[in-house]
Structure 1
Amino acid sequence: MQKLNLSQTLSQKLSPQQIQFIKLLQVPTAELDARIEEELEINPALEEGREEKEESSQDDTFEDNYEEDMPMEDRDINLDDYLDDEYSGYKMHGDGNYNPDEEDREIPISSQASLHEQLIQQLNFLKLDDRQKLIGQQLIGSIENDGYIRRDLEAIINDLAFSQNIETDIDEVEEILVKIQNFDPAGIAARNLQECLLIQLERKEHPDDPEVQHALRIVQDCFDEFTKKHYSKIQRKCDLTEEETKEAVNLITRLNPKPGGTSDGLVRTQYIIPDFILTNNSGKLEVSLNSKNAPELRISRSYAEMFDAYDKSDKKDKKLKETVTFVKQKLDAAKWFIDAIKQRQNTLLRTMEAIVEYQYEFFLDGDETNLRPMILKDIAEKIDMDISTVSRVANSKAVQTEFGVYPLKYFFSEGISTDSGEDVSNREVKSVLQSMVDQEDKKRPLSDDKLVKLLNQKGYNIARRTVAKYREQLQIPVARLRKEL
């Protein structure tokens, strides 16, 4: 038997405007310009530029002015709603001081030819026939971003047969591979780390030097012992003195284990664009938004003036009513977008100012040991916002200080209790841990158990597993792998 039940539930749903604001909040300064250009393209009611008259002060309140469910004939349309100074000449700047003569500057990105392009250029200098060139190109195309060829040569031979209709064998492919392995950078196209190091050693300027010969023997005959730092076994197996072993190992460790270099296969210098600028004016810390790349936005006067024509026309005209409805939607969307940009700035500034206030001692001198334990909840409560909002700001923004550029998430850390009952930032503990490892005797590196005892002696109540976790986060190898001769 079917029954019809009526129930009432209470739930929260984000409006489309709120969802878009959340997305806009996550956009870093480097990408904000592209996001604004996208909005300018899809909304003709939004324009770039500023009015000649002076702009009025901005209201930081984010209001919903959208009356979307109200019939068009019941709405009071006021031209001033859209031509108000607050919207018509709004410039996205943090400190309110805008210089109209300020030049727009492009952020320089320095880039060169990709690694594969450089290798192809070197391949073209070899005296190869068309068949050999195609094999060489296939091999170069199989080189990964770190400079290695990890695909089996048999698989590359199959690719050549299917894609290039070239029948070849291992001997011919290896012959061309050896030629490519002589390209720059040294060690390129190796199939494993051992081969990569051997290629580099064989290309040394003085390959007959005893130091180079000893290094070659170690990599060829004792590679497993070398990776595990079993130096006493290497000395016995290669019949070397302690000094000869030390010189050879030092030579090997100076070689490049990743001849491909960058992770994306490009030789590129990138410039981080900070979202905030922090200045210290005689002990007074001041935060401003970096918004040089953001253009001025205003409501289109021509679109707004269409409402004048509507007021003076026959409101029963269906086509005119549809046109005005469309215009109204575009104007509302443009007005909302400018509001959202303002709200974004307000949220960013409030969050950053709260972080600076919380970590004031650190921002004065840049000493990492002055960082206080701070979690998202601390800042969220301070600025009376949701934790998720603070998280979105912290995960995608950076601040420029006198000591360098830091991602905001750098300042958030859990606390570690001390003997005195205080909580200190785990960054302070990591800094002390790093200092201990830097100053240790490399012939007898400190084990995790020893590091725990030393930290406990300094008053930090910390467990061994936590020390191991912090060591891994600092990319410090275990004691055995830190051992030196």
Structure 2
Amino acid sequence: MEQRLSLQQKLLQKLSPQQIQVIKLLEIPTMQLEQRIKKELEENPVLELESDNPEFEDDGEAQELKSEKDTDDEEFSFDDYLNDEDEIPSYKLSANNYSKDEKYVDIPFSVGTTFHENLYDQLRLVNLSEEQQQLAEYIIGNIDDDGYLRRDLLAISDDLAFNMNMEVSEEELLKILKVIHELDPAGVGARDLKECLLIQLNRKKGKELDLAKTIVKDFFTEFTKKHYDKIQKKLELSDEELKQGIDQVLKLNPKPGSSYSNPLNRTNQHIIPDFILENTDGELSLSLNQRNVPELKINDTYLGMLRSLSEKGKNNKSQKDALMFVKQKVDSAKWFIDAIRQRHHTLLLTMSEIINLQKEYFQEGEETKLKPMILKDIAERTGLDISTISRVSNSKYIQTNFGIFPLKYFFSEGLQKDDGEEVSTREIKKILQDCIENEDKRKPLTDEKLAQILKEKSYNIARRTVAKYREQLDIPVARLRKEL
């Protein structure tokens, strides 16, 4: 077997720690940035808040530190840190570019008990043994935010045996689940929609509910598919009787957990805009929301310590170690401040180009004014990578005069009308949404009919594309939109 040696030349891009830091900071929204800065302040004593920094006393030691001696160390030059006095001692994060009257909106959510805590509180009022209470709490822990128990009781039984060394049968768990079904909101703990609706109906009294119970119990499939004619025929109902029965079912809540409108169930407790856009007589003014982002600088004491150590040289290992430690901390602080400053610059640059491209929309707030825009468009206008634009757009919000929007809202693909004009797919979706909202619910518009309406408006779109846009709008097919 012949062996050969060959040389290959490869170009590899390796990110520096500073670049990685910038990338990570780009990804996080304003609310998390504040926490990230606090963490850095705790970990690096060289970094401090501008407002907390004491003025450097001009004593004898300070005079000594102001000497202009050069260090013989080629690896490290103190001039890197002190030559540009405007850059380091006054390095600041905050651009102070929000209005003095703080014209932006925090949308705080009220504080209270969560959906699950509410269930636990109700459970304590039920007469259960200690073991039953433990089992009930475990089951409640498996109920999702919609109020459903989507895990099989057998799987829960296995979990209890494995994690808590409790041998519990499905029958015993079912008894406990029936207790949970008595809690509020009605329907909580149901394993599927049918059970959820029946629990709610069984809580109510009145003969007018008998038909609704029959429909859910015996004709649930026909009901969900809106095959009302089959229900009417089998139960020999008049049009009015059928309508009354269906209306009773439609009054029920298919997601009982959501009826407990506690905002603490959300992943984020606040929506804090990263950008603030003000419109004054048609003039748009963009700024970063920096209200909760503190000003930072490098601690003068550590800078003095670094200067002193560098002038004394590295006469022994102890001094060398001290010098390298302080240098490392100063470097880290400088990199962090640089990364924050670069983050601000990149955010403003990206958002400014989005506004420039979508100026008509931001001036009027009319959704149909949104132009087709993809990440590549903004990358080309800013000179930044598409991945950078993606990071900026992710999890960021802008406050406008007509609401707070995620940046992703402004991106959409484009299509050409018959006259050659390029329009945003969002404009087409808006027309579809308007058509469906104004349709006759007794005879909802099919996808084919919607495609025909769009064609009459010069949007030549296939039926399957209409179906795709309708699904993206989370709108069901015509048959499921039908009402009596």
Bin the TM-score by the shorter chain.
0.7 to 0.9
Counterpart in the other structure of 1:16? 17
Amino acid at match of 1:425: S
Kindly indicate whether the alpha-carbon contact (under 8 Å) linking 1:112 and 1:267 is maintained by their aligned counterparts in 2: no
Kindly indicate whether the alpha-carbon contact (under 8 Å) linking 1:94 and 1:288 is maintained by their aligned counterparts in 2: no
Q: CA deviation at 1:408?
A: 0.9
Q: How does 1:174-213 map to 2 (within 5 A)?
A: 174-204=174-204, 207-210=205-208, 212-213=209-210
Q: Hey, what's the Cα distance between the residues in 1 that align with 2:310 and 2:132?
A: 77
Unaligned runs of 5+ in 1: 54-69
Counterpart in the other structure of 2:32? 31
Which secondary structure state, in structure 1, belongs to the residue aligned with residue 271 of structure 2?
coil
Residue 224 of structure 2 is aligned to residue 223 of structure 1: no
Residue 421 of structure 2 is aligned to residue 430 of structure 1: no
Which secondary structure state, in structure 2, belongs to the residue aligned with residue 86 of structure 1?
coil
Which secondary structure state, in structure 2, belongs to the residue aligned with residue 87 of structure 1?
coil
Counterpart in the other structure of 2:352? 353
Q: Hey, what's the Cα distance between the residues in 1 that align with 2:170 and 2:9?
A: 73
Q: Hey, what's the Cα distance between the residues in 1 that align with 2:158 and 2:373?
A: 56
Counterpart in the other structure of 2:332? 333
Counterpart in the other structure of 1:389? 388
Q: Hey, what's the Cα distance between the residues in 2 that align with 1:395 and 1:164?
A: 40
Counterpart in the other structure of 2:376? 377
Q: Hey, what's the Cα distance between the residues in 1 that align with 2:263 and 2:166?
A: 27
Residue 145 of structure 2 is aligned to residue 145 of structure 1: yes
Counterpart in the other structure of 1:44? 45
Counterpart in the other structure of 1:84? 85
Q: CA deviation at 1:302?
A: 1.3
Kindly indicate whether the alpha-carbon contact (under 8 Å) linking 1:111 and 1:267 is maintained by their aligned counterparts in 2: no
Q: Hey, what's the Cα distance between the residues in 2 that align with 1:355 and 1:182?
A: 52
Q: Name which of 236, 239, 258 aligns with 2:236.
A: 239
Give the direction of change, closer, same or farther, for the CA distance of 1:143–1:217 in structure 2 (3 Å limit). Answer: same
Q: How does 1:246-325 map to 2 (within 5 A)?
A: 246-261=243-258, 267=265, 270-325=269-324
Q: Hey, what's the Cα distance between the residues in 1 that align with 2:341 and 2:165?
A: 61
Q: CA deviation at 1:218?
A: 0.8
Counterpart in the other structure of 1:342? 341
Deviations 1:200-259 (A, max 9, x none): 11223xx2142x222111111111100110011111222222122222222212211122
Q: CA deviation at 1:360?
A: 0.9
Counterpart in the other structure of 1:61? none
Q: Which moved more, 1:185-194 or 1:323-332?
A: 323-332
Which secondary structure state, in structure 2, belongs to the residue aligned with residue 143 of structure 1?
coil
Q: Hey, what's the Cα distance between the residues in 2 that align with 1:35 and 1:336?
A: 14
Kindly indicate whether the alpha-carbon contact (under 8 Å) linking 1:45 and 1:303 is maintained by their aligned counterparts in 2: yes
Give the direction of change, closer, same or farther, for the CA distance of 1:76–1:191 in structure 2 (3 Å limit). Answer: closer
Kindly indicate whether the alpha-carbon contact (under 8 Å) linking 2:106 and 2:271 is maintained by their aligned counterparts in 1: no
Counterpart in the other structure of 1:93? 94
Kindly indicate whether the alpha-carbon contact (under 8 Å) linking 1:186 and 1:199 is maintained by their aligned counterparts in 2: yes
Counterpart in the other structure of 1:56? none
Give the direction of change, closer, same or farther, for the CA distance of 1:157–1:17 in structure 2 (3 Å limit). Answer: closer
Kindly indicate whether the alpha-carbon contact (under 8 Å) linking 2:108 and 2:271 is maintained by their aligned counterparts in 1: no
Give the direction of change, closer, same or farther, for the CA distance of 1:366–1:88 in structure 2 (3 Å limit). Answer: same
Deviations 1:40-99 (A, max 9, x none): 23322211224689xxxxxxxxxxxxxxxx994454313862882433344433454797
Q: Hey, what's the Cα distance between the residues in 2 that align with 1:240 and 1:291?
A: 64
Q: Hey, what's the Cα distance between the residues in 2 that align with 1:442 and 1:153?
A: 40
Give the direction of change, closer, same or farther, for the CA distance of 1:166–1:419 in structure 2 (3 Å limit). Answer: closer
Counterpart in the other structure of 1:482? 481
Give the direction of change, closer, same or farther, for the CA distance of 1:72–1:245 in structure 2 (3 Å limit). Answer: farther
Amino acid at match of 1:386: D
Counterpart in the other structure of 2:416? 417
Q: Hey, what's the Cα distance between the residues in 2 that align with 1:111 and 1:214?
A: 41
Q: Which moved more, 1:395-404 or 1:375-384?
A: 375-384
Give the direction of change, closer, same or farther, for the CA distance of 1:82–1:170 in structure 2 (3 Å limit). Answer: same
Q: Hey, what's the Cα distance between the residues in 1 that align with 2:282 and 2:172?
A: 70
Q: Hey, what's the Cα distance between the residues in 1 that align with 2:310 and 2:147?
A: 69
Give the direction of change, closer, same or farther, for the CA distance of 1:448–1:437 in structure 2 (3 Å limit). Answer: same
Amino acid at match of 1:293: N
Which secondary structure state, in structure 2, belongs to the residue aligned with residue 260 of structure 1?
helix
User: What is the percent sequence identity of the aligned residues?
Assistant: 53
Q: Which moved more, 1:265-274 or 1:179-188?
A: 265-274
Kindly indicate whether the alpha-carbon contact (under 8 Å) linking 2:21 and 2:336 is maintained by their aligned counterparts in 1: no
Give the direction of change, closer, same or farther, for the CA distance of 1:318–1:172 in structure 2 (3 Å limit). Answer: closer
Amino acid at match of 2:257: G
Kindly indicate whether the alpha-carbon contact (under 8 Å) linking 2:93 and 2:294 is maintained by their aligned counterparts in 1: yes
Give RMSD over aligned pairs.
Answer: 3.0
Which secondary structure state, in structure 1, belongs to the residue aligned with residue 297 of structure 2?
strand
Q: Hey, what's the Cα distance between the residues in 1 that align with 2:457 and 2:272?
A: 39
Q: Hey, what's the Cα distance between the residues in 1 that align with 2:370 and 2:294?
A: 36
Give the direction of change, closer, same or farther, for the CA distance of 1:52–1:83 in structure 2 (3 Å limit). Answer: farther
Q: Hey, what's the Cα distance between the residues in 2 that align with 1:164 and 1:31?
A: 36
Q: Hey, what's the Cα distance between the residues in 2 that align with 1:151 and 1:97?
A: 49
Q: CA deviation at 1:288?
A: 0.4
Amino acid at match of 2:46: A
Q: CA deviation at 1:271?
A: 2.6
Q: Hey, what's the Cα distance between the residues in 1 that align with 2:256 and 2:94?
A: 44
Q: Hey, what's the Cα distance between the residues in 1 that align with 2:163 and 2:4?
A: 65
Counterpart in the other structure of 2:68? none
Q: Which moved more, 1:451-460 or 1:74-83?
A: 74-83
Kindly indicate whether the alpha-carbon contact (under 8 Å) linking 2:50 and 2:296 is maintained by their aligned counterparts in 1: yes
Deviations 1:123-170 (A, max 9, x none): 221223334434433433443332222344445455566666766656
Counterpart in the other structure of 1:441? 440
Calculate the TM-score normalised by the size of structure 2. Answer: 0.87
Unaligned runs of 5+ in 2: 56-70
Kindly indicate whether the alpha-carbon contact (under 8 Å) linking 2:98 and 2:288 is maintained by their aligned counterparts in 1: no
Kindly indicate whether the alpha-carbon contact (under 8 Å) linking 1:116 and 1:265 is maintained by their aligned counterparts in 2: no
Counterpart in the other structure of 2:114? 114
Q: Which moved more, 1:242-251 or 1:6-15?
A: 6-15
Kindly indicate whether the alpha-carbon contact (under 8 Å) linking 2:81 and 2:88 is maintained by their aligned counterparts in 1: no
Amino acid at match of 1:39: E
